[in-house]
Amino acid sequence: MTNQNPIFIPGPTNIPDVLRKAVDMPTVDHRSPLFAQILHPALDGVKKVLKTEHAEVFVFPSTGTGGWEAAITNTLSPGDKVLATRNGVFSHRWIDMCQRHGLDVLVVAQQWGEGIPADRFAEILAADKAHEIRAVLATHNETATGVRSDIADVRAALDTTGHPAMLFVDGVSSIGSMDFNMDAWGVDIAVSGSQKGFMLPPGLAVVGFSPKALQSVAGARLPRTFFDVRDMLDSYSAGGFPYTPPVGLLNGLKVATEMLLDEGLENVFARHRRMADGVRRAVGAWGLKLCAMRPELYSDTVSAIRVPQGFDANRIVAHALEAYGVSFGTGLGELAGKVFRIGHLGSLTKAMALSGIATAEMAMVDLGLPIRLGSGVAAAQEHFLLGAGDVRQKAA
């Protein structure tokens, strides 16, 4: 059965049994004190994952897209200017949302495979003498291209120019998997979802608001009802929710943050880096290249792998699913048919990663690509292999 195999899409991710069981719980009276015992530990756990002591965390029954909407509708007004980069599908979608809400979006177009141009942002912000730009949008990890941008550099662009714009960061495919330091980076709104680094089913938008972002809420004139953080704050103070909450998912979020913190965030990040490096070594052994243009841009949660020109990458994804019952990610937008994606985030072990690499190899060989069977697996194995001293330490 295909559902016995791990998936290698960049989200939703594989769900550990302990989280599946945490979500599967009896009905709880969400107006009783029992609900607060789920809600507040979940919110506190998210704060620790975001590495913030000052932000307020809000969790909505939604997805990362709902988190984007919560960010802009609670802080901005029609006609406000925002600055953003378009370097992939998900940065484009946030821009599109802003435009649909009547915001004036200054778009810096980048080649897909590039990151956010912090130097260009600094030029634009320096030229904005009237400080008309109210927010800077940054996609930390562009899931379509496998590109991670440096958020600290974006914050530096704001600081060096003395610009007061808020910094909004899409961390949907990075938070809980790669280092994210909300306070140190001066992030005003951080957006994530339940289905990636938190290893849960889809259904929660997880959003952190800095004190500066919260100060802007009262004057914001974009309409919001379901996503109004003022209603959330009022309800949280009483241990409740402004409407019926997804109790099972919130209990899962509580347990997920406990798992991440028990493992240690730095260990979580190192584990993701090891998985990603193993996949990247396999890609090199296959003679293929990543969409991300330079090593400093490589994502530790997803690799977008370019196929030879004239070959349809969607064939690899379709064949792997049909023949071997394993899912990989397709190319999106401008990359449709040009790349396939291997997600290596969330609940993933070395053995699971090797099974995905082996399956990708078999699919490509089946389809006639000049891949030497076992080459990528061997390259990843060499990276994953424990040295003799490590083996003795593990045995002890």
Question: At 138, phi and psi to the nearest 5?
Answer: -135, 125
How far apart CA 184 and CA 53 sit, in angstroms, is 10
How far apart CA 335 and CA 153 sit, in angstroms, is 27
User: Which pLDDT tens digit goes with each residue over 178-204?
Assistant: 999 999 999 999 999 999 999 999 999
Q: Is the pLDDT of residue 276 over 90?
A: yes
Sheet holding 189-193, edge to edge: 56-61, 204-209, 189-193, 166-170, 133-139, 81-86, 104-109
* % of residues, the chain, pLDDT over 70: 97
> Is the Cβ–Cβ distance between 191 and 7 less than 8 Å?
no
User: Which pLDDT tens digit goes with each residue over 361-396?
Assistant: 999 999 999 999 999 999 999 999 975 445 444 543
Output the six-digit token pair for 26.
């009896």
| DSSP assignment of 317-375 | HHHHHHHH---BEEP-GGGTTTEEEEE--SS--HHHHHHHHHHHHHHHHHTT----TTH
Torsion, Cα of 91, 97, 103, 107 (10° steps): 20
Mean pLDDT, rounded, for 258-271: 98
Output the six-digit token pair for 209.
């608001």
CA 329 to mean position of chain CA atoms: 15
Beta strands in 52-120 (DSSP E): 56-61, 81-86, 104-109
User: Which pLDDT tens digit goes with each residue over 108-137?
Assistant: 999 999 999 999 999 999 999 999 999 999
pTM over 0.75: yes
Q: Which domains does the chain have, with CATH numbers?
A: 17-262 (3.40.640.10), 265-395 (3.90.1150.10)
